[in-house]
Amino acid sequence: MSSVEQAAATSVSPSLKVSAMSAEGESEMLIDPRPIRYSGFFALFLGLLSVFALFGQPMLMFAVFAVVIALFALRPYSGARPVGYLAAIAGLTCAILFAVWGVTERSFRSQFMSERAAVFAGDWLQLIVDGDYELACELQQSPASRQSESMPLNQYYRESEAGKQVMKSFRENPTVIEMINAGTSVQWQLNRPPTYSTQNGRHLTTTVWKDDSGKVKSLVKIGMEYLPPKKDEVAQWAVQEITTWVDR
């Protein structure tokens, strides 16, 4: 650099340098900050809570609220993308995923349980037709209260006091009396699709049957509980209710 150029560079006024720096700072301050949409973060929080929809239908409310709030956070904007916009998308995705997963899983489980309940109830009704009242009575007991395989059921229900009391109660049931009196010509058919529900962790099903032969005039309701398999044990069913079904 020549001496003339060096002199020109060093002759720049300090005030001009300060003015240039101030102009740069003002230009940075003129840039608008990105808006924050807190609703997007709230939607993400609720979307993550939607995982509880896998464990119960009432928990779907988390997914519903997450979708509503996420759609509000995803409203159109102008300028820079708001902070929280991507969080709203993530929350919406989680809510839909967990909601669909939960509803689908419960639907398949309900269908499976209903089908198995119909098979078990049909087999139990056939025991009445065949006159195997001891086994039919035994299947009303919880697995823990049932007799061991080495105990003949005929002997238990005819000779032991506890067994005779259970059998007496069974045979005094008006619905059971009507089924026994119908004889062996009954033709049981499902009257309506089985229903399945959970209550305090219990798996409950209801089946309603009609005798096509007309011997049993009433509709028969069989309420059952499904007992999931435990360690070294298979799944079990227990008949909880035998009564007449009345259409409401």
Same domain for 89 and 132, yes or no, is no
Same domain for 44 and 124, yes or no, is no
Same domain for 164 and 205, yes or no, is yes
Overall average pLDDT of the 227-232 stretch: 83
Which DSSP symbol is given to 146?
S
The pLDDT assigned to 246 comes to: 82
Cβ neighbors of 242 (< 8 A, separation 6 or more) are: 140, 173, 175, 176, 220, 221, 222, 223
Q: How confident is the model at residue 4 (pLDDT cuts 50, 70, 90)?
A: very low
Same domain for 147 and 79, yes or no, is no
The pLDDT assigned to 20 comes to: 47
Same domain for 99 and 144, yes or no, is no
146 occurs within a structural domain: yes
CB 37 within 8 A of CB 73: yes
Same domain for 180 and 240, yes or no, is yes
158 occurs within a structural domain: yes
27 occurs within a structural domain: no
88 occurs within a structural domain: yes
User: Whole domain around residue 142: which residue ranges?
Assistant: 120-245
9 occurs within a structural domain: no
Domain count, the chain: 2
pLDDT at 89 over 60: yes
Cβ neighbors of 248 (< 8 A, separation 6 or more) are: none
67 occurs within a structural domain: yes
Average pLDDT, the chain: 86
pLDDT at 222 over 50: yes
pTM to 2 decimal places: 0.71
Same domain for 196 and 141, yes or no, is yes
Overall average pLDDT of the 14-19 stretch: 49
Same domain for 173 and 208, yes or no, is yes
* pLDDT tens digits, one per residue of 131-175: 999 999 999 998 888 888 888 898 999 889 999 999 999 999 999
**Domain stops at, among 79, 106, 133:** 106
Q: How confident is the model at residue 189 (pLDDT cuts 50, 70, 90)?
A: very high
Same domain for 235 and 129, yes or no, is yes
The pLDDT assigned to 57 comes to: 84
73 occurs within a structural domain: yes
The pLDDT assigned to 31 comes to: 56
Percent of the chain with pLDDT over 70: 87
Helices (H), the chain: 3-10, 14-29, 38-49, 60-73, 85-130, 133-138, 153-159, 161-171, 174-181
The pLDDT assigned to 151 comes to: 86
Encoded tokens for 238: 């227990």
pLDDT at 14 over 80: no
The pLDDT assigned to 32 comes to: 62
**Domain stops at, among 53, 81, 106:** 106
154 occurs within a structural domain: yes
Same domain for 203 and 231, yes or no, is yes
**Domain stops at, among 81, 106, 131:** 106
Same domain for 132 and 239, yes or no, is yes
CA 193 to each of CA 67, 121, 126, 142, 220: distance values in angstroms, whole numbers, following the listed order: 33, 13, 19, 25, 13
The pLDDT assigned to 15 comes to: 52
* pLDDT tens digits, one per residue of 200-209: 889 999 999 9
- CB count within 10 Å of CB 23 equals 9
Same domain for 126 and 213, yes or no, is yes
> Of 184, 187, 231, 224, nearest to 203 (Cα)?
224
